[in-house]
A = this chain, B = another copy of it.
Amino acid sequence: MPSKYWSGLVDQLDPYVPGEQPKQLDLIKLNTNENPYPPSPKVLEALSKDAIDNLRLYPDPANAQLKQAIAKHYDISEQQVIVGNGSDEVLAFAFQAFFKQDKPLLFPDITYGFYTVYCGLFDIDYVELPLADDFSINLDDYLQPNGGIIFPNPNAPTGIGMELSVIEELLKSNTETVVIVDEAYVDFGSESATALIDRYPNVLVIQTLSKSRSLAGARVGFAVGSAELIEGMERVKNSFNPYSLDRVAELAATVAIEDREYFNDCCNKIIATREWTTAQLEVLGFEVIPSKTNFVMAKPPQMSAEAMFKALREENIIVRYFSKARIDEYLRVSIGSDEEMQQFIAAVKRILSAS
């Protein structure tokens, strides 16, 4: 019930509903696209007694250490990087910095659920453009008057990746508004649009350390783009929460970015497990959308996705089900460890046999 003390906006908000975080310990948790492997062992090493004692001091509001690590990783300058408290905060700053325009923001109708929430919070007009029949994004649809464009690559929850050349075609035609490529899942087999930021001043690439760097619990995201886009976002950030990244998160993120070998190993293991899982599901009669992420969208045979979701839950396996038109026939299954996915496939076999 609305309160007389709230600003008018508050009771109109439609807040984001995160995937369930159950307390049950013996659950196989394949519902929120977390990484099955722990963060780089160098993270634990870095958290010395001194690092913890220094929690008494404010962080560096410029986050120079982490920006340097990211700039080095992508061979760009620190002025082309902004970091924040998870890619959700970075996205929020970007929506506020760029998308409050006379014309509507454009994004896919099936995509990250937070985009419409930010539009509600910041009073941004938007138009959702339908995915093609095969769930792919057709960027030609975006060649229309707009106040900005945002899409994930690969898209979520479909898992489909786009070629970088296709994104570049859009950028050649759409030069007057900001185009955000949301790359939460890019490290599992797609090409990053970071390669385009020197040539297109209006492209912003947002990434997270939650997936490929196993740091969902540390809340670190970043954006890279032209210095003028980054400056606009810094202005918003410094009007909201200049110190949003804490000392431990910045340290953990820096070490994780620098440990490329561990990062590559984890990503390669997850890609291999994803391909094995996809093949197993197809043998069982699932329709699996080709994934470039650490999850698969799969449509079960014999029974509805919702029935399969409930049956898996009975087996102590939790996956994600979206009760939304078109994708309500699919389950989104995060890629866990090999052992977890073997248990998942075994459970699916039991469920299909019993039905």
Contacts and interface: CB of A to CB of B under 8 A. Distances in A.
A34 interface: yes
A243 to B, nearest CB: 6
A201 B6 CA distance: 12
A216 B100 CA distance: 33
Interface in A46-79: 47, 49, 52-61
A16 interface: yes
Interface stretch (A165-173, A230-238, A313-321): A230-238
A4 B148 CA distance: 12
A89 B52 contact: no
B16 A117 contact: no
Interface stretch (A184-192, A247-255, A277-285): A247-255
A96 interface: yes
Contacts of A239: 13-16, 117-118, 120-121
Interface residues of A, number: 84
A219 interface: yes
B217 A56 contact: yes
Nearest to A64: B23
A88 interface: yes
Interface string A14-55: 111010010000000100101111110001100101001111
Interface string A88-114: 110010001111110000000000000
A52 B47 contact: yes
B229 A217 contact: no
A46 to B, nearest CB: 10
Instruction: Please state the number of chain copies in the assembly.
Output: 2
A178 B44 CA distance: 44
B217 A59 contact: yes
Contacts of A118: 239-240
B55 A9 contact: no
A228 to B, nearest CB: 4
A264 interface: no
A257 B202 CA distance: 45
Given A6-B98, A210-B58, A217-B57, A246 B249 contact: yes
A68 to B, nearest CB: 13
Contacts of A202: 5
Nearest to A88: B241
A318 to B, nearest CB: 13
A217 B352 CA distance: 51
Interface string A212-235: 001111110000000011011011
Given A15-B238, A246-B248, 18 more contacts: A3-B231, A5-B177, A7-B97, A7-B99, A15-B235, A16-B238, A18-B242, A21-B61, A39-B53, A54-B217, A55-B218, A55-B252, A56-B214, A56-B217, A57-B217, A86-B243, A118-B239, A246-B246
13 contacts: A5-B202, A11-B235, A15-B239, A16-B239, A36-B56, A38-B53, A57-B216, A58-B216, A58-B217, A217-B247, A218-B247, A246-B246, A246-B249
Closest 8 CB pairs of A and B: A15-B238, A217-B247, A38-B53, A7-B100, A55-B217, A56-B214, A219-B246, A3-B228
